[in-house]
Amino acid sequence: MIQFARTATLILLLCLAALPAGSEGRLEINQVCAFGGGCFPGDTPGFPVQITSQNSYVLTSNIIASSAAQAIDIQVGGVTIDLAGFSIGPCVNVGQLCPTLQVADAIAGPTSNDVTIRNGVIQNFRGSGVVLGRRAHVEGLVILNNDEDGLRVLQNSVVLNNRISFNEGTGASLGAGTIWGGNVLVSNGTDVSGNAYATARNSCSGDPCGLPRGRRFYLSSTQGVCDDAHTLCDEGFRLATGLDLEDPSSLQYDETRGVPRNSVGGQDGWIDPPQCGGLSPSARGGNWAFRSNDNGESFQYRFDYSPFLNRSTPIGSWCVEED
């Protein structure tokens, strides 16, 4: 039995030693494998490194991409890439003059959703630094000196604690419903564009930008009759009064809890007090009116009371964060 245990322990140690150092089971990306036979199945030799399967990836060296292609091409969603403090660029030293390159993005997956990129430096590309689809999570990056945008993500993404500087296009182009905070943007063509919600202070060329707007609110996706109105809000939220909702400048819509913001316009919801009793079958609620700006983007404009709702018809509740 003792000999068997020793043998099993030896086999386990040999298996652990066979794992790539620092990869912790993640698939490695580095300069050697990119120019060798490819870094993993689905990746052909040379740049870009092609990610074709959902997995977790980690850089184990700086990446100096060839002049003819982007560095990493993300072809599927559900991918996480940890740059592990390394740099990606046609040259990796800040301020170094790079050779004339073809236009290419550093890390691109414009139709790939649910992608996470974190912890490293992306610089000096003729295209953009990071281009991703919906529900991206970008955190802890330094993105600088790219000829187009620094960062571009689509709807409902998360962008936290990045340093984005000296990009000729937009520093951070943020899709609707994106949450961002703790970012510092300096000397980009335009520091930020889009319709995002700040969870913490951001800085744009030395000035505050994207400050938190205050309490969250939403129209519940769970519906109920008038008597259920007070039970439809999540913990930490309460049924909103009309007064809570009349001034949108002090609120931010929480799309992670409620119905999508672009479908709220014209929908009724219960407000406090819903006035479910009495002889009349009518009850009290309200809806949110929308208008469009010159770019065709919709935003909250005003709250309208709806005093003649049928108290037996299931609708959602307007919920606001507790004080």
Give the model's confidence band at 4: pLDDT under 50 very low, under 70 low, under 90 confident, else very high.
very low
Which residue has 């709702």 as its token pair? 309
Of 145, 185, 194, the C-alpha closest to 167 is: 145
Asked if 215 and 320 count as a contact pair (C-beta separation under 8 A), the reply is: yes
Highest mean pLDDT among 5-9, 114-118, 180-184: 114-118
Give the number of C-alpha atoms closer than 13 A to the C-alpha of residue 20, restricted to the C-beta side: 15
What type of residue sits at position 153?
V
Other residues' Cβ atoms within 10 Å of the Cβ of residue 99 = 7
* Residues 97 and 33 placed together within one structural domain of the fold: yes
Of 209, 242, 260, at which residue does a domain stop? Answer: 209
What type of residue sits at position 216?
R
pLDDT of residue 65: 85
Percent of the chain with pLDDT over 90: 45
* Residues 197 and 223 placed together within one structural domain of the fold: no
Residue 41 has pLDDT above 80, yes or no: yes
Dihedral of the alpha carbons of 21, 81, 51, 28, in degrees to the nearest 10: -10
Specify the higher pLDDT residue, 248 or 219.
219
The verdict on residue 39 lying in a domain is yes
* Residues 86 and 167 placed together within one structural domain of the fold: yes
DSSP states of 50-95 as a string?
EE-SS-EEEE-S-EE--TTS-SEEE-SSS-EEE-TT-EEESS-STT
* pLDDT one-digit tens code per residue, 72-120: 999 999 999 999 999 998 865 544 556 556 678 999 999 999 999 999 9
Instruction: Specify the CATH number for the domain of residue 281.
Output: 3.10.100
The verdict on residue 187 lying in a domain is yes
Of 187, 209, 231, at which residue does a domain stop? Answer: 209
The reply to whether omega before 90 is within 30° of 0 (cis) is no
* Residues 73 and 222 placed together within one structural domain of the fold: no
* Residues 119 and 259 placed together within one structural domain of the fold: no
Of 196, 197, 191, the C-alpha closest to 170 is: 191
pLDDT of residue 306: 67
* Residues 139 and 167 placed together within one structural domain of the fold: yes
Count how many domains the chain has. Answer: 2
Residue 17 has pLDDT above 60, yes or no: no
The verdict on residue 10 lying in a domain is no
* Residues 112 and 135 placed together within one structural domain of the fold: yes
* Residues 317 and 177 placed together within one structural domain of the fold: no
pLDDT of residue 70: 87
pLDDT of residue 6: 42
Rounded mean pLDDT of the chain? 80
Strand partners, 64: 89
The verdict on residue 1 lying in a domain is no
**Can you point out the beta strands (E) in 103-214?**
107-109, 116-123, 130-132, 137-144, 151-153, 158-160, 163-165, 170-181, 184-186, 190-198, 202-204, 207-209
The verdict on residue 82 lying in a domain is yes
Give the model's confidence band at 49: pLDDT under 50 very low, under 70 low, under 90 confident, else very high.
very high
Cα separation, 70 vs 79, in Å, equals 17
Give the model's confidence band at 273: pLDDT under 50 very low, under 70 low, under 90 confident, else very high.
confident
Residue 288 has pLDDT above 90, yes or no: no
**Residues 189-209: what's their mean pLDDT?**
82
pLDDT of residue 271: 86
Segment among 11-20, 59-68, 171-180, 248-257 with least mean pLDDT: 11-20
The reply to whether omega before 248 is within 30° of 0 (cis) is no
Give the three-state DSSP class for 276.
coil
Distances (CA, A) of 135 to 115, 175, 207: 7, 9, 27
**Residues 282-308: what's their mean pLDDT?**
53
Of 158, 184, 209, at which residue does a domain stop? Answer: 209
Which range of residues forms the domain containing residue 58? 20-209
The sign of the torsion formed by the CA atoms of 14, 15, 19, 24 equals: negative
**Can you point out the beta strands (E) in 236-281?**
237-239, 251-253, 268-270
What type of residue sits at position 303?
F
Give the model's confidence band at 218: pLDDT under 50 very low, under 70 low, under 90 confident, else very high.
confident
**Residues 159-180: what's their mean pLDDT?**
92
* Residues 46 and 195 placed together within one structural domain of the fold: yes
* Residues 185 and 65 placed together within one structural domain of the fold: yes
Specify the higher pLDDT residue, 33 or 279.
33
* Residues 47 and 123 placed together within one structural domain of the fold: yes
Of 83, 85, 91, 78, the C-alpha closest to 107 is: 83
Asked if 174 and 210 count as a contact pair (C-beta separation under 8 A), the reply is: no
The verdict on residue 26 lying in a domain is yes
* Residues 127 and 275 placed together within one structural domain of the fold: no
Give the model's confidence band at 269: pLDDT under 50 very low, under 70 low, under 90 confident, else very high.
confident
